[in-house]
Each structure stands twice: as C-alpha cells, then as structure tokens.
Amino acid sequence: MYLQKMFSCSQLLARPNALQTFKRAASQGKMPLARAHGKSFAHRSDLRQAKRIVVKLGSAVVTRGDECGLALGRLASIVEQVAMLQNQGREMMIVTSGAVAFGKQRLRHEILLSQSVRQALHSGQNQLKDMSLPVLEARACAAAGQSGLMALYEAMFTQYSTCTAQILVTNLDFHNDQKRRNLKSTLHELLRMNIVPIINTNDAVVPPPEPNSDLQGVISIKDNDSLAARLAVEMRADLLIALSDVEGLYDSPPGSDDAKLLDTFYPGDQHSITYGTKSRVGIGGMEAKVKAALWALQGGTSVVIANGTHPKVTGHVITDIVEGKKVGTFFSEVKPAGPTVEQQTEMARSAGRTLASLEPEQRSDIICALADLLTERKDQILSANKKDMEHAVSTGRLSPAMLKRLSLSSSKLNSLSIGLRQIAVSSQDSVGRVLRRTRVANNLELEQITVPIGVLLVIFESRPDCLPQVSALAIASGNALLLKGGKEAANTNRILHELAQEALSIHGVKDAIQLVSTREEEEDLCRLEKMIDLIIPRGSSQLVRDIQRAAKGIPVLGHSEGICHVYVDHEASVDKAIKIIRDSKCDYPAACNAMETLLVHRELLRTPLFDQIIDMLRTEHVKIHAGPKFASYLTFSPSEVKSLRTEYGDLECCIEVVDSMQEAVDHIHKYGSSHTDVIVTENEDTAEQFLQQLDSACVFWNASSRFADGYRFGLGAEVGISTARIHARGPVGLEGLLTTKWVLRGEGHTAADFSEQGSMTYLHENLPVARVLPGRRTTS
C-alpha cells in the first residue's frame, strides 16, 4: 500500500505544476487569473475568483458524535470537494482537527483489549464486566492519532489522483522568523507541485498560548481557528472556509427564539452579537472563530463560516461557497449602501400588513395614482428604457424576441395605464370578502374570508412592463412584493419601481414593494423560505425550471413549458382552421401560449384544407418539422422532429397526424405541458368531449391559443400562467393572489359544551354571505 501511494505521488509530481495549470485554464477563460493580494473580496459572487483557498475542518466536523473516531462519510465528501477544486487549478490547503479523536479511539481499543486479556488470565472463564477506562490525556491521544489521521487523508485523496503532505506546527513556529520563513517556503513548494498540504497543530507537544500576544497585532495559535487564520494571511490566501457544526454566525445563540443567521458580517458589528457556548468538542467557540475571521479579513483574506456537519449540504458546502452561493456567513469589509435582501423582505412584510388593512378605496387610489404616473412620467420612463435598449443592442446578448419584450413605447405605457385602472376597479371587492358563513351553534358564527398570501417574490426577465402590472396586482390583493428583474432592464426597472413607491406613499406604505438591486442570485432568493410565501417566475422556460428546482421550501406558481397544441378535426371549417392556426403560431411565436404542435386528423391529408394550411405556414415562413406518423405518409418529408415535446418559441412547429379526437387527447396528455390546447371542429359533441377530457389549464374550442392571457380574460393583468394543480390555474390575476382564513365569533363557547355532558348542539346552518371591511361589516 505504501509503495502504491509513493507511486501515485511520483506520477503527480511529474505533471505540470499547479500554477501552470491554473494559468492555462485562465487563459482559456475557464478560471480567473491570480489577483493582487491585499484586499478581501467585497461580494460573495467574487469568491468564484478565489485561487488559493484554506479549508478549516473543526473538531465537530471530523469527529463522530461519541467523540471517539472520525465521521468517515462526512470526511470523504469534504475530500471529494477539495480534490475537485484542486483539479480545477486552484491551490487548496486543509487545516484539520481529528488527531485527538482518532487517537482516543485507538487507545481505548488498545486499553480494552489489554484489560480483557488480563481479566481472562486472572479470572479464567469469568464474565468480563466493570472494565473502566482511565481518563485519556489529550496529548497522548494526539500522538497516537496523527499517523492514522494522515494515512486516512492519503488514502482518500489518492482516489482522486491527488497527493497530500502533512505539516505539524506550533505557536512557536510562527513566532520564530526563521521557522516561519521555512514553513512558508515548504508550503509554497508543495502548492507548486500540485500537492494539498494538510496542516494541524502538533497537539502532542503544543505549549500553552503566550499571554496577550494578540495585543501585538499578531494572532496567537490557540486553536485551529487561529491557526487557519494565521496560515491564510501568511500564505496570502484568497479565501478561508471555516467549517463547524453551526450554520454560520447568528445575532444571538443558535436555538434561541429570536436568533437570526447573518448572511454577511461586517467589522464593527461585534456589539450586536451575543455568543453562546462552544461546540461539544474542540477548544474554540464561535467567539474564537469570529476573532480569527476578522483578523484574517484585516489581512486581506475573505472568510466564510459554514456548517460542515449537515447531511444535506456537506456534500457540496465547499463548492457552493466557492461558487458564490449563500451558504453560511460571509465576512466582508464593504458594507452595502442600502438594506440587505433580508431586511428588504422584512420591510415589505411589515408594510404589506398595513397595506392589507387599508380600505379597498385606498388601495384603489394607490393603483390609480400609479396608472397616472405611467403616462405623466412617460418621457422619463422611455429615456431609461432607451439606455437599456442601446446597451442590449451593443452587447448583442439578447435575441430579437427578447429585445421586443425589453422595449417600451408610449402606446405600451398607455395600455399599461388602462390595465391598471381595470385592476383598481376589481380591487374594490377582493381582500376581506366573505366566501362562506355558517352558524355553528347559537351565538357561534364561522366565516371564511379572503386574505393576502403574504410576501410574493416575482422574478422576471427582459420585461419591464411586468413591474407595474405585478405591482398593481400585489397592491390590489394586499400582498407585499419583492421584485427581482433582469439586469438588461436595470434602468427601466429602477424608474418604474420609484413610481410604484411614490404611489404607495399616498397612504404610507412605500416599503410594501421592494426591488432587489443587490447582487443576489435567484437561487439564493429561493432559500428565504422563512420570509417569502410564494415565488412567481416570469421568463423563459429555463428560468422557471431553475426556480422550481431551487425553491425547496417555497411554492412556485408558474409553468416551465408552453407546449400548446391545435387539433384540426376532420369536421373543421376551412376558414376557422386557417385563421386560428395562423394567429396561434404567427402572432407572437415567442409567447408561452403560441402553438408548437399542429395535430391533423388523418382524413384531412391530401385535401384542399390541408394544402391551404401548409401554404399558409410557408407564406408566414414557418419551418415545419414532421412527426413520426406524418413523415410516414410523405415521400419527401420535412425534417423529422427530434422530440414531440419541444417548445420552439419561434416560427417553427411540428405537424403530426392522429386518427381520432381521442388519439389527439392522448397525444396531448403524453407530450403536452398542460398549458393551452385547442380543437377546431364544427361537431359540437366532439368539441364537448375534447373540452371535458383534456385536463390542461386552458382548453379552447374554435379559438386561438393566444387567448390564454389575463388581459384577454378580463383580469386586467396577470402575474403569470400556472399549469400546476394548486388553487390557481391558467392566467393568474387578482383572485390567484388571495388565500383564505377562518374567523369564529362566539360568546365563551368551549368544545366541552358540545360533548355528551354538554348542553349545546351543532346547527351548521348556512347564512347569507357578508362583506367584511376594516372597521365595519355589510351584507351583500
């Protein structure tokens, strides 16, 4: 085994060194070039540029719960991540605990074995019992465990063709200039040879820390936290990742009722922190970690403290941090000018509750004021939009369809203003509407009332007109709103958000709508499950899929695909079929309600109707893909479709042949996305069967699929189209942003009153529905 390890390391040493590998990857655009050290990263997203990284593994991370032995599965996943980053061309170093735990396991085993042998010799066949273990001295455990710990690391890293080297240090190694230079030289040489140094304090001989040495501006090595910080600064590391058994830094001890995880910690915030007890093992604590982190930060190394023990995140915690994801607590010297996204969400929720308590007329006033501002300030809006358009055109990153969505005009703003006024009218009877009243018993009445959902997060791409629409719907439904727009519309979104807040200020609820302008990734926003109640993505199918995948604990309202079908029955009208197909495909091909697959009854093949359909599509420059059955009828067919489950989003469509209406329904159920599907026929019975059997969100008879739209449905506007089987399906307007609560009014009633010994009986009488408003009630 030893020879195998030596051979593996010799192969590694023969490779190009890590620095050359890193530069080559950087020159190809795969990795960032080395940056000048001296200043830490300002934002999490910058961590992707980290080249030299120190990973500190606390005792709680590497040891088992019984403190005897190592957590092998956890350690293996950490090794895998470190090896992956090393093989990307980064320079990785590990500061590890675990020697004491490993040695304790080994010594306990030896002592138990020795005791059992002695008892067997002195007691014959007597049962072994009452074998007590002596208290094991930590230095002895460390001496016994160091070799085994290192052998384990070697074996694990060898699986990834990565060589390691062990370095044991003490505080004196850093206080002696010559020893410190030797240590740095050794580490630099190891990194140059693409070897992962594994560093630990030499706990077998470590002396007690020197008193007050920190006061001289140099942190003393009291534990592995201070060792990792000192090493990171000495080696000019870009990033220090400190893994422990807590999620990060809290503003009060974890587990307390009001404890909040701090996403980012800034120097000077120490006064707002209350520290709890240290972990079950190790000699440090959170206070020691923060002290070490701030010292490293001052030395130019960025720091993240995160949980390395959670089974759901351990397998990717290190790589997530390096990718800039919101994991643990990030230490930064740059404090943002505005509030954090967490603070924005709290501000929105607080103002949203006030918004929900306003009179309906007051919410309507706000929406009408926003509608007025869209036309009064149109020059300001269009000027901002022009900047976004010019930047988008110059970069060339947006498709023509996306550019069209980004563009605003006077007519578009006028249409938006009209739509907002429709919402203002409908908002008069939304929040506080009684859906059901029941007299449960005498003087005991139950009501089901509409209420806002809470805090909505709407993520949208290249559609600044979405901002006032969604804002109006949120105001009408009394919901707080968090908006995350695409950077391609940054200028337009900013001015539109300012107008929305100006309108909200009329009744003192300016903060109910917040625009996230910080460098937050969508995936990070989706992790705010304790602060956000519903996510609504507006954009490409890829965006919706990404949000649905990232939002583990928050419901998502939307659709990931718009694979809409038009089925032309053999009893279809020629004129209706041509009009509907043209509008469904060609009016706006990029829309989610555009036709993607045309299903044709087999009897229509080689008829004038079918020829007219093909001629019309060719005239409109629609590229046709043949389905498998359709291709089999043709001698020279168009390109055969690669998948019947394709959303083209352009002037392209698939044509497939079916033998009956039932086969068309079966095809749609198999390949559709439950968005919008259409039948064209003059046979009423066939149409009714189609409408009843198909379970899509929108099912139309002799009407274009483009009618699947909130404005065309008379909803005023929509926040999106949902294909889920939740409370809202299809175009979601005001009603889809409401939920309900139950209100019970009694006079000292108890459940015991209705027991066998009680004197009351249930009535459960339905009562006339009443309207509930803040401060008064009226019967409708």
Greater pLDDT, 219 or 292 = 292
**Can you give the pLDDT at residue 282?**
43
**CA dist., res. 595 & res. 774, Å (int):** 46
**Can you give the pLDDT at residue 116?**
64
- Whether 482 and 471 have beta carbons less than 8 Å apart is answered as no
Residue 126 has pLDDT above 80, yes or no: no
| Per-residue confidence band for 326, with pLDDT thresholds at 50, 70 and 90 | confident
| Per-residue confidence band for 1, with pLDDT thresholds at 50, 70 and 90 | very low
- Whether 445 and 438 have beta carbons less than 8 Å apart is answered as yes
Question: Cα 182 to the chain's mean position, in Å?
Answer: 45
Residue 590 has pLDDT above 90, yes or no: no
The CA R_g of the chain, rounded to the nearest whole Å, is 33
SS3 per residue for 437-487: EEEEECCEEEEEEEEECCEEEEEECCCCCHHHHHHHHHHHHCCEEEEEECH
| Per-residue confidence band for 373, with pLDDT thresholds at 50, 70 and 90 | very high
Closest CA to 478 of 451, 499, 498: 451
Residue 197 has pLDDT above 50, yes or no: yes
**Can you give the pLDDT at residue 635?**
72
Mean pLDDT over 569-592 rounds to: 95
Which residues lie below 8 Å from residue 684, measured CB to CB, with a gap of 6+? none
The H-assigned helical ranges of 699-757 are: none
**Can you give the pLDDT at residue 134?**
64
Mean pLDDT over 12-30 rounds to: 46
| Per-residue confidence band for 2, with pLDDT thresholds at 50, 70 and 90 | very low
Reported as a single tens digit per residue, the pLDDT across 67-85 is 666 788 899 999 999 999 9
Mean pLDDT over 490-500 rounds to: 97
**CA dist., res. 523 & res. 738, Å (int):** 25
**CA dist., res. 131 & res. 256, Å (int):** 40
Identify each DSSP E strand in 593-697 by its residue range.
595-601, 623-626, 652-658, 676-680
Residue 303 has pLDDT above 80, yes or no: yes
Residue 469 has pLDDT above 60, yes or no: yes
Mean pLDDT over 273-279 rounds to: 60
Mean pLDDT over 256-268 rounds to: 83
Residue 34 has pLDDT above 80, yes or no: no
Closest CA to 616 of 630, 601, 595, 633: 595
Provide the token pair at 151: 């052998």
Beta-bridged to residue 54, according to DSSP, are 93, 240
| Per-residue confidence band for 700, with pLDDT thresholds at 50, 70 and 90 | very high
- Whether 598 and 705 have beta carbons less than 8 Å apart is answered as no
Longest Cα–Cα distance in the chain:
106
**CA dist., res. 3 & res. 535, Å (int):** 56
Q: Cβ atoms within 10 A of the Cβ of 515, count?
A: 20
Mean pLDDT over 460-476 rounds to: 92
**CA dist., res. 658 & res. 604, Å (int):** 10
Mean pLDDT over 364-375 rounds to: 97
Give percent of the chain above pLDDT 90: 53
**Can you give the pLDDT at residue 7?**
41
Sign of the torsion formed by the C-alpha atoms of 322, 327, 332 and 334: positive
Segment of 134-148, 439-453, 539-553, 744-758 carrying the highest mean pLDDT: 439-453
Q: Would you report the helix, strand and coil content of the chain in percent, each value rounded to 5?
A: 45, 20, 35
**Can you give the pLDDT at residue 519?**
67
Q: Give me the count of residues in the chain.
A: 780
- Whether 223 and 283 have beta carbons less than 8 Å apart is answered as yes
Mean pLDDT over 265-281 rounds to: 66
DSSP 8-state class, residue 333? S
- Whether 455 and 533 have beta carbons less than 8 Å apart is answered as yes
**Can you give the pLDDT at residue 120?**
61
Provide the token pair at 3: 């020879």
Closest CA to 62 of 51, 53, 72, 54: 72
Question: Cα 715 to the chain's mean position, in Å?
Answer: 30
* φ, ψ of residue 772 in degrees (nearest 5): -105, 125
**CA dist., res. 81 & res. 237, Å (int):** 18
Rounded mean pLDDT of the chain?
85
The single residue listed with the structure tokens 């903060």 is: 511
Reported as a single tens digit per residue, the pLDDT across 140-192 is 887 887 888 888 999 999 999 999 999 998 877 888 889 999 999 999 999 99
| Per-residue confidence band for 553, with pLDDT thresholds at 50, 70 and 90 | confident
| Per-residue confidence band for 103, with pLDDT thresholds at 50, 70 and 90 | confident
Segment of 276-290, 444-458, 506-520, 635-649 carrying the highest mean pLDDT: 444-458
* Residue 759 exposure: Cα atoms within 13 Å on the Cβ side: 2
- Whether 447 and 434 have beta carbons less than 8 Å apart is answered as yes
**Can you give the pLDDT at residue 775?**
46
Beta-bridged to residue 298, according to DSSP, are none
Residue 222 has pLDDT above 50, yes or no: yes
**CA dist., res. 106 & res. 375, Å (int):** 78
**Can you give the pLDDT at residue 39?**
84
Which residues lie below 8 Å from residue 604, measured CB to CB, with a gap of 6+? 568, 570, 572, 610
- Output the CA–CA distances (angstroms, integers) from residue 565 to 236, 387, 652, in the order listed: 60, 38, 13
Indicate the pairing of strand 720-722 with strand 730-732.
antiparallel
Residue 604 has pLDDT above 70, yes or no: yes
**Can you give the pLDDT at residue 203?**
74
Residue type present at position 597: T
Three-class DSSP category at 739: strand
Provide the token pair at 499: 């107008």
* φ, ψ of residue 623 in degrees (nearest 5): -80, 130
- Whether 601 and 566 have beta carbons less than 8 Å apart is answered as no
DSSP 8-state class, residue 510? G
Question: Cα 575 to the chain's mean position, in Å?
Answer: 48
**Can you give the pLDDT at residue 777?**
44
* φ, ψ of residue 707 in degrees (nearest 5): -75, -10
**CA dist., res. 608 & res. 637, Å (int):** 18
Mean pLDDT over 715-729 rounds to: 80
- The model's pTM is 0.78
Residue 581 has pLDDT above 60, yes or no: yes
**Can you give the pLDDT at residue 133?**
58
Residue 94 has pLDDT above 60, yes or no: yes
Closest CA to 542 of 419, 602, 654, 459: 459
Three-class DSSP category at 98: coil
**CA dist., res. 435 & res. 438, Å (int):** 10
